[in-house]
Amino acid sequence: MSSSLAEPGLPLVVLCCVMVALAAVIYRVSSIGRMITAPAAALRGFVQLAAISLILAAALAHLWSSLLVLLVMFGAAAFTSIRRSESGRSGIWLVFPLAVGIGIVVPLCLLTGVVPAQGISIVPVGGIILGGTMTATSLSARRALAALTDRHGEVEAALSLGLTERDARVEVVRPTANDALLPGLDQTRTVGLVTLPGAFVGVLLASGSALQAGAVQILVLTGLLLAQTVAVALTVELVARGSVHRRP
């Protein structure tokens, strides 16, 4: 028996089909949703992973094509943040926090030589940083906009006391930044104790040492902390200034 994890082959196909079928049955029996939900999600995931595997196999061979892949990923992340923020056309401003967040971390990693200027290194690290920053930006915008709606009276009261509109809004939306940053902070605080994150496991499965895996993971976690903090701070400022706002 091979010691490799999840080798492509019949056993893997059978196991995945069984797990999806069981999930579908549970959907049906418990009436928590349509029976087709789990199989449809699994099929979509399979198609997407197959496509991205073929694309990456070709793209990672060259630096320029790797950067192009990262640019496409950035576009998808920006679109997702705009949609999740429920801020309509004003959500286009969320591209700025995303760009600044990843635009600080990735160049720092490359300039210091910690991450080699190769596609096989840039795309995974950049993708993880981008994904975490996208989540923090989306969550920050949603929470800040919801706070302005729920606590509109407090904003009006602050305005009546002579505060500018920006300052009045900041007093309401600033506390929401902690909520947006909490998942990333918790992941960093509990790494190795509660979970073994993807970067750590990935290096181990690629036959790297535990020390190498730990080094890669701490790089990713600290990069995420910086990128998310920058993005959330900018998002809160954009909401406070009214650049990002709810749909009328």
pLDDT in tens, 27-48: 888 888 888 988 999 999 889 8
Are the C-beta atoms of 81 and 134 separated by less than 8 Å? yes
Q: What is the pTM of this model?
A: 0.78
> How many CA atoms, within 13 angstroms, populate the side-chain half-sphere of residue 238?
26
Residue 37, classed as helix, strand or coil, is helix
Range of the domain at 195: 62-240
Asked if 126 and 31 sit in the same domain, the reply is no
In this predicted model, what pLDDT tens digit does every residue of 123-178 receive, in sequence order?
Answer: 888 888 999 999 999 999 999 898 888 888 887 887 788 788 888 888 888 888 88
Residue that is last in its domain, among 59, 85, 107: 59
Question: 93 and 12 share a domain?
Answer: no
- Say whether both 66 and 163 belong to one domain: yes
> Two tokens at 137?
């930006």
Q: Which of 9, 41, 59 is the last residue of a domain?
A: 59
Comparison of pLDDT for 98 and 210, the residue scoring more: 98
Token pair for 197 = 């994150």
Residue 205 lies in a domain: yes
Shared domain check, 50 and 91: no
245 in any annotated domain: no
Residue 86 tokens read as 């429920």
End-to-end CA distance of the chain: 61
48 and 95 fall within a common domain = no
Instruction: Tell me, yes or no, whether 103 lies in a domain.
Output: yes
Question: Do 44 and 111 lie in a common domain?
Answer: no
Name the burial class of residue 65, with classes exposed (0-12), middle (13-18) and buried (19+) by CB atoms within 10 angstroms of its CB. middle
- 54 and 140 part of one domain: no
Q: Which two tokens stand for residue 239?
A: 């909401």
Q: Which amino acid is at 90?
A: S
Q: Does 173 lie in the same domain as 140?
A: yes
The verdict on 83 and 55 lying in the same domain is no
> Does residue 135 sit in the same domain as residue 221?
yes
**Is 106 found in the same domain as 19?**
no
pLDDT score at 199: 61
**Same domain? 97 vs 143:** yes
Report how many domains make up the chain: 2
Query: Which residue, of 12, 44, 59, is where some domain finishes?
Result: 59
